[in-house]
Structure 1
Amino acid sequence: MKKMTIADAAEYYNVSKEAIHNRIRRGSLDCIVDNGVKYVAVESAKGNTASANIANDNRYTQYIEQENERLREKVDVLEKETTRLRDQREQMLIDERVKVEQIYKERDAQLRNVLHVVATKFLSHVNTDTVMEEANVADAINVDVVDSEIDEWVSLKSFLKLKRYNDKEKKKIKNRFESLADEDIRLSTRGGKIFLNPSEYDYSDLLL
């Protein structure tokens, strides 16, 4: 009985060793183990039929390998597309967040400007009752003014409250005004209180 090693059988049939092992597992080729070495019984391969079967197995294996490679390439393409879409989505979310933050910043800036203009207008042209009614700050601000003949004057205390200075800044500014109360024509003292007239005078030098 003619027998060959797996390697010799693969060379004989012009196929891979894996194809020989597959045929052995399926029983298409007889296997003989001699002293722990596996051999193929060549004469039991039924001549050309066995060779044809092995060749078919080899072609099938190649086909499977080709299909696997094609599927791997397709998976790679899908993974790249998924990554691209994910990155695109994340960038869109970042852009939208930046837009929203910018909108809020612009609205905050506009609101601050409006409040500043309104506060300045109230200080310059509106009496105490109108300020409290329009701005709804009756509980927050007690505006002190002198009599009607000088109703454009507003107390330093009310002026500082509307300007929203912190306590430390208020104290420094108040000391500045008090030191010039008797000398500066822009200031008026009534009942021990200092009054300003923002519609007529500029006090920026004392507010620095």
Structure 2
Amino acid sequence: MQKLAVNEAAEILGITKEAVYNRIRRGSLKMVIENGTKFVILDEEPSSEKPTKTAPKSTKTKSQNDEFVSYLLNELNELKSLNLNLQADKDRLFKEKEQMLIERKNEILQIYKDRDEKLMQFLNAMQRPLLAPKNESAASEVAIDAQIEDESKWINLSEYLKELNLKPKATKKISEKIIKAIHHSKFIKFKRGVILVRRHKNLKELIGEI
């Protein structure tokens, strides 16, 4: 038998002081008062007031467990089979869609090919020269050859100045003189927005005494 203060009893029992007083009121703990001080009497090791619940015995037998496992295995096999069927359907639909796209693509390519062939035939027809007398055709060819030969004798101003290989200041000065001599020299001309000078002519021949 132990006679303990309330706080000591609470510490030993592992509960609060309020819980100790509650047990005293319920009569599960004894208490004495000596000289105005309350003491708790502990007769033996404290035990939990909560009743111990006995776990219910399992009613399932081994046979019932085997049946349940068998059921789950059957369900799993059915799900696997269903999954395989779904995958097969998915592959089949994918191949069908792919084949449809290929066929559609070929149809579109054929349509544009036919249109391109017709367009090329039309352009070729437009590019064919109209029938003309042989003498006019020959005269035209001679004129074109003469024009090509004439243009080969001329060079644009920037290329001419590069060939002179002068310093920038001198190049600018000569360029200004050549521009002023456009209307005075037969070796300088202005054609289609470009200043042309006669090849193999020196500055004196181009601009004279300007």
The TM-score normalised by the length of structure 1 is: 0.37
Which is richer in helix?
1
The TM-score normalised by the length of structure 2 is: 0.36
Higher CA-based Rg: 2
